[in-house]
Chains A and B, each alone.
Chain A
């Protein structure tokens, strides 16, 4: 945000936050280690607001849980902003010095009165007001979010509406205040940092920037295509159109993780070449022409990973990899060799030094420094630089230390793409539970005492209306398909909302139902909002 792709704060800062907004995140189950820090903050007296359509395990710790309707986050954020402005709790000095576009923003949120927000989100206006005042009045406050914000067709707008709140109150660029997207894996941040994005070179340098490109071209002695590539969702569209003919998949399982999985599998099956590099023979790997068995990154490889707090840490092999597998780096370099390229950097440290030479934010992080400490947080431009605990401290400096002021963004509530209708009257949302990981590739082979399989959760009122009871087999349908599932009657869902995990595609392939409307800016599908119906299961229905 504000020109850098990473959370603004260090993990431990949340312990010093007075007010914490956990928005669209069930961190207690999905980010349990990080949640320990949230708990520390709560034990010190911090106030926790959880904004989530479900009353999740995380929400059980909340001073206030606000159960908004799916996809109404922007309306809520804008109503909070309006309330803060109307109550004169915004930080005008900060706004004047460090931001642009306030006037326009103020006008844009004026429509979002508490009354309108209550109608749209379902949350009582006085609860919205309480949240707004708490957040604005706190000395330090953080907004934490995960996929409840980003797995929507308007993901970027959602994030921007949260950024607006931080700019409005000055809850950014200071210790204990910030914007923190929680990442699901130990190196998601690293993937983006290294340029695994369609429009970025390593270190978030824009591929359309001639100067940046030239720097890489000089060292790589080759021309770099200035046209941004395709993100995942566009890739699948290109595959459907037979324009994209070959796919090299590293550590992903799109045959099961993509929304509308049936259609994704069709796209994969019509490729000329599908190469999969993974530590497991995933559903996608089963479809591949070539499979490269990879060794396990966190246990068998040498190199670095980067966590959500932008901390680059060394990893080293703890066990020897089995003989039929190879390190990811060796596979890629080996492939390059076969293709006739002769890459000079072949060992992890050589690759890392290449990155340091090209990415200014990593320049100061030598292996020597990484080896002798708890890692370093980017930006770290020189070998004397201590790393950066939180981003955007410049917002508080005179003249912003030469940076451009941070812009407010005008965001408009739109709601989920897929509307409910009499045929599909229920809103389906998906999520994760504590003891499983994504499509279950890495977790389903291990026993867990708290694993209850995959169910379709709904509340008692909906269950009664459909005429089903707890534990009954039901048919769940969206306009993309139908699957057979076990119904579970729960207390933590409002009427009209049903929930399932997607950890057990072999039991119930929920992503056959999910909505593949996606965000134009991020390419993320709207996993969090599909329209479905639930029927009593009758035997003759073919699944």
Chain B
């Protein structure tokens, strides 16, 4: 018989206290002398506290200590191996060693921040003794270069433009979805109410669920995350389910490089998201909502959490909201650094306390979503459109945009323009109009990366392309999340593409083979091309084969789109002209 390894696995008092603060209520086993309460259903219910417990442990100890894991394992009755499996899934959990001092700096090295010198910033930070790591996009692209400071016993904060934390401002211009952004106090409920807040909820309650669904359907609102599914149809499907437990999930795990619209909404107009979710809950018959926010948005988490408390206090959340028969409340879940958790089914797995791996569809979330229940999952931008539809009416709403893409869209313009920021404009606006809106280019534009890492490169001769679902689709590109990264003349496009490939290599969850292997090989191949570009003909066929395998055989959108940008660079001929 071999003896178990004698590593010190005793939880410290401080760790236990930190974990208890977020997860004690989820304790599975309740023991007394002759009766012990437990069971699989309690384990299943409690498991959604795993992610918060890991956050508490990471924050207290600077790592996922073995003693802490054992303690959580006892508390939630989940095996230590499973907990380790979950912890290692996320970038922000350290399982090998603690963060050395108060903070670990995560420096964004995705295209936009790289263009503004983040690699040099990383070197400087390290030279000054600051423990630092390379990071994927932090959603501060208009304020690049960005750093996220992960605290040990200190609050997390984000830094951009050399500024610290809460004072950072992203230029935001718009008169509907963004009408309150920068104009009201985001921490004040009365400020929100004075500028039209909670009118939409009153209207929705007066109209009743069926009429709201009809209205949203009639408006032609589609999801703003990239897939563009009709929101009304989604709501109607969940409303039609007869079970009494349903959920509304706001997918605020905004991680698509170049995208920051949901962050701006949550930081500057958090009540709008809460109101819109409440309307969704009342409409489809859900009593619980979840907002899943990426951990790299500490200010958004803080603002939303505070707004939830205020809304609850004012009877806008909880039992019998506004003295009606409706009850609805919202929980916040913090992500932990995983792009894939923005995929809706991976997000459910993450909330439930499992590795954030996507599930096969069907079943679709509308029938079997979070905890296997019918679920509406929308991103914040989509949700706040409902407020405009209810207060401004369908006619006004449909008078904007194109017939197939009605309404306005939030465009995240970053890169080589004079005023990078968030711009609200009607669907159908042309790329060059958008660039003008953002102050015009700072240098001759080589291309625009449209739709983020999962998007495509568009060359200047196509800058009159109208940005609507139908026009981009017929051009063979996708509007995606609304990221518009403007790449000026000094940018090495091959480097951008290599970074995109590296991003997907890092973010592939590894569950299915085509994506796990394909993203790795794609990155390798591009590095090799860069090394040999002067002496050898690039092996385009191989890259295309890898791309086809990934888009044909992966189970989720990550694999489907991991080669899109690469392929668009090849077909546009942008890469091979770009070597120095």
Task: Give residues in A with beta carbon < 8 Å to B.
Answer: 39, 42-43, 45, 47-48, 55, 59-68, 122-124, 127, 449, 494
Contacts and interface: CB of A to CB of B under 8 A. Distances in A.
B34 A62 contact: no
Nearest to A126: B35
B354 to A, nearest CB: 15
Contacts of A123: 34-35
12 contacts: A39-B40, A43-B40, A47-B39, A48-B39, A61-B39, A62-B36, A63-B42, A64-B37, A65-B35, A67-B33, A67-B34, A124-B35
Contacts, number: 51
Contacts of A127: 34-35
B32 interface: yes
Contact of A64 (B1, B33, B35, B40): B35
A253 to B, nearest CB: 29
B392 interface: no
By size class, the interface of chain B is: 10 to 19
A65 B32 contact: no
The 6 closest A-B pairs by CB, nearest first: A63-B39, A67-B34, A65-B36, A42-B40, A127-B35, A122-B34
Interface string B23-67: 000000000111111111110000000000000000000000000
Contacts of A124: 32, 34-35
A329 to B, nearest CB: 43
Contacts of B33: 67, 122, 494
B37 A63 contact: yes
Interface of B: 1, 32-42
A426 to B, nearest CB: 17
Contacts of A63: 37-39, 41-42
B36 A59 contact: yes
Contact of B39 (A64, A66, A67, A449): A64
Contacts of B40: 39, 42-43, 61
A63 B36 CA distance: 8
Nearest to B29: A60
A76 B110 CA distance: 67
A68 B42 CA distance: 23
A66 B42 contact: no
A127 B33 CA distance: 12
A68 B34 contact: yes
B38 A65 contact: yes
Contacts of B34: 66-68, 122-124, 127, 494
B3 to A, nearest CB: 14
A246 B308 CA distance: 84
Nearest to A127: B35
Nearest to A69: B34
A60 B35 contact: no
Contacts of B39: 42, 47-48, 61-64
Nearest to A55: B36
A510 B352 CA distance: 48
Nearest to B40: A42
Given A67-B33, A494-B33, A60 B41 contact: no
B470 to A, nearest CB: 45
A429 to B, nearest CB: 15
A130 to B, nearest CB: 9
Contacts of B42: 63
A48 B1 CA distance: 34
A122 B35 CA distance: 10
Nearest to B1: A449
Nearest to A118: B34
A124 B32 CA distance: 10
A60 B40 CA distance: 9
A68 B33 CA distance: 10
Contacts of A55: 36
Nearest to B36: A65
A65 B32 CA distance: 10
A124 B35 CA distance: 8
A68 B34 CA distance: 7
Contacts of B32: 124
A66 B36 CA distance: 7
Nearest to B41: A45
A122 B32 CA distance: 12
Interface centre among B33, B36, B37 (most CB of A within 10 A): B36
A449 B37 CA distance: 30
A62 B41 contact: no
Nearest to B42: A63
A266 to B, nearest CB: 39
A520 B35 CA distance: 33
B567 to A, nearest CB: 43
A395 B39 CA distance: 33
Contacts of B38: 60-65
Contacts of A39: 40
A75 to B, nearest CB: 14
Contacts of A494: 33-34
A39 to B, nearest CB: 8
Nearest to A41: B40
A65 to B, nearest CB: 4
Interface centre among A60, A65, A67 (most CB of B within 10 A): A65
